[in-house]
């Protein structure tokens, strides 16, 4: 699975010199929060602190520092010209510095807040810290289990592949797992409901297999997990009503558990059944549920 740590290691290995650009303070309305960071090499960047002129200034400052500029005026003039809309705080510009930048018309942004951006060279110790932090972040990513690798399952896998998630696609059919994105884990099993029981706490379950009876079995297991972040099933009002009758009368479920079911996934406000559209709506819905749970 592609991870932040893997991508970060590749970036650092390819760059002989790198600067860390980090939001040290964020006051008022700002593009990113305190702690947001990016890496800058002479040719490439990794990550973002929010884009716009703020980021352009930070990138230019970092590259000027990497190039060996030792005077504060030299670095700042390289970034902004004269007059200077930002100011330096008390740092050594050769190895590290901090910019205090108002996000107003002076730099072509209208956020209205103010940001302190710390820039420093990445040495061996900082490289190790960044990689360790990335590995911790990867391990803490929310989990999403997609049951079904049909047209919508493939579209969902592609949508989720762009997000900071640990994604597993579960199938009973070998060919349905072909051509999945590289950063999605696939599981072939004759008993997909077991994957529900083994999933970590806080997992989001989205069910869209080729078999309604199998959908019911998987969803029934997922709804009995009180620690699930989301349980969704593709389908119509009729399918949902049929599932309710089965779940309450045969599967031993109760009304409180049933009330947590999302069906159809992605809501019914958009009447468009193309797989990519369903996947986009469902991915937004599921990501919202995961973020709300985390906060």
Of all residues in the chain, the percent with pLDDT exceeding 70 is 87
Which whole number is the average pLDDT over 187-208? Answer: 97
Question: Does one domain contain both 281 and 199?
Answer: yes
The confidence score (pLDDT) of residue 110 equals 67
Which whole number is the average pLDDT over 47-61? Answer: 90
pLDDT at 19 over 70: yes
DSSP SS3 for 118:
strand
Domain assignment of residue 43, given as a range: 4-137
The confidence score (pLDDT) of residue 94 equals 61
**9 and 35 in contact (C-beta within 8 Å)?**
no
> Of 108, 137, 166, which one is at a domain's C-terminal end?
137
Angle at 47 between CA 281 and CA 167, to 5 degrees: 40
Question: Does one domain contain both 197 and 230?
Answer: yes
Question: Does one domain contain both 171 and 100?
Answer: no
Question: Does one domain contain both 160 and 214?
Answer: yes
pLDDT digits (tens, 9 = 90+) for 243-265: 999 999 999 999 999 999 999 99
Domain count, the chain: 2
Question: Does one domain contain both 146 and 132?
Answer: no
Question: Which range (70-74, 149-153, 164-168) has the least confidence?
Answer: 70-74
pLDDT at 58 over 70: yes
The confidence score (pLDDT) of residue 84 equals 42
Question: Does one domain contain both 120 and 182?
Answer: no
Q: How far apart are CA 72 and CA 92, in angstroms?
A: 8
The confidence score (pLDDT) of residue 108 equals 65
List, in sequence order, the alpha helices (H) in 173-231.
193-198, 212-223
Quote the strand ranges of 159-240, DSSP E: 166-171, 185-188, 204-207, 230-233
The CATH number of the domain where 190 resides is what?
3.40.50.720
pLDDT digits (tens, 9 = 90+) for 59-82: 999 999 898 854 444 444 444 444
Q: pTM of the full predicted structure?
A: 0.79
pLDDT at 190 over 70: yes
> Of 109, 137, 165, which one is at a domain's C-terminal end?
137
Question: Does one domain contain both 112 and 163?
Answer: no
Question: Does one domain contain both 119 and 196?
Answer: no
Question: Does one domain contain both 51 and 78?
Answer: yes
Q: How far apart are CA 60 and CA 231, in angstroms?
A: 46
The confidence score (pLDDT) of residue 78 equals 42
On average, the pLDDT of the chain sits at 88
**131 and 5 in contact (C-beta within 8 Å)?**
yes
With 0-12 CB in 10 A as exposed, 13-18 as middle and 19+ as buried, what is 244? middle
> Of 95, 121, 137, which one is at a domain's C-terminal end?
137
Question: Does one domain contain both 118 and 160?
Answer: no
Q: Which residue has the higher pLDDT, 90 or 29?
A: 29
Q: How far apart are CA 290 and CA 295, in angstroms?
A: 9
DSSP SS3 for 158:
helix
Question: Does one domain contain both 9 and 122?
Answer: yes
Question: Does one domain contain both 47 and 172?
Answer: no
Which whole number is the average pLDDT over 201-218? Answer: 97
């Amino acid at each position: 699975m592609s991870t932040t740590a893997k991508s970060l290691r590749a970036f650092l290995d390819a760059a002989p010199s790198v600067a860390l650009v980090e939001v040290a303070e964020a006051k008022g309305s700002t593009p990113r929060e305190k702690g947001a960071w990016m890496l800058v090499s002479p040719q490439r960047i990794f990550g973002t602190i929010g884009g716009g002129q703020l980021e352009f200034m930070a990138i230019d400052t970092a590259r000027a520092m990497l190039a060996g500029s030792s005077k504060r005026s030299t670095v700042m003039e390289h970034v902004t010209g004269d007059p200077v809309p930002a100011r330096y705080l008390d740092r050594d510009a050769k190895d590290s510095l901090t910019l205090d930048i108002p996000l107003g018309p002076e730099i072509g942004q209208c956020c209205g807040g103010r940001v302190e951006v710390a820039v420093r060279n990445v040495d061996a110790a900082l490289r190790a810290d960044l990689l360790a932090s990335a590995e911790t972040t990867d391990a803490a990513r929310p989990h999403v289990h997609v049951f079904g690798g049909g047209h919508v399952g493939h579209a969902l896998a592609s949508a989720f592949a762009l997000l900071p998630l640990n994604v597993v696609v579960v199938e009973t059919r070998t060919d349905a797992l072909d051509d999945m994105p590289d950063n999605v884990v696939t599981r072939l099993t004759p008993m997909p409901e077991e994957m529900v029981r083994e999933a970590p706490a806080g997992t989001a379950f989205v069910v869209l297999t080729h078999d309604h009876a199998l959908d019911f079995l998987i969803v029934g297991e997922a709804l009995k997990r009180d620690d699930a972040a989301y349980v969704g099933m593709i389908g119509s009002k009729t399918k949902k009503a049929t599932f309710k009758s089965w779940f309450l009368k045969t599967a031993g479920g109760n009304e409180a558990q049933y009330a947590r079911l999302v069906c159809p996934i992605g809501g019914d406000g958009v009447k468009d059944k193309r797989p990519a559209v369903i996947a986009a709506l469902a991915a937004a819905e599921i990501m919202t549920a995961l973020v709300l749970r985390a906060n």
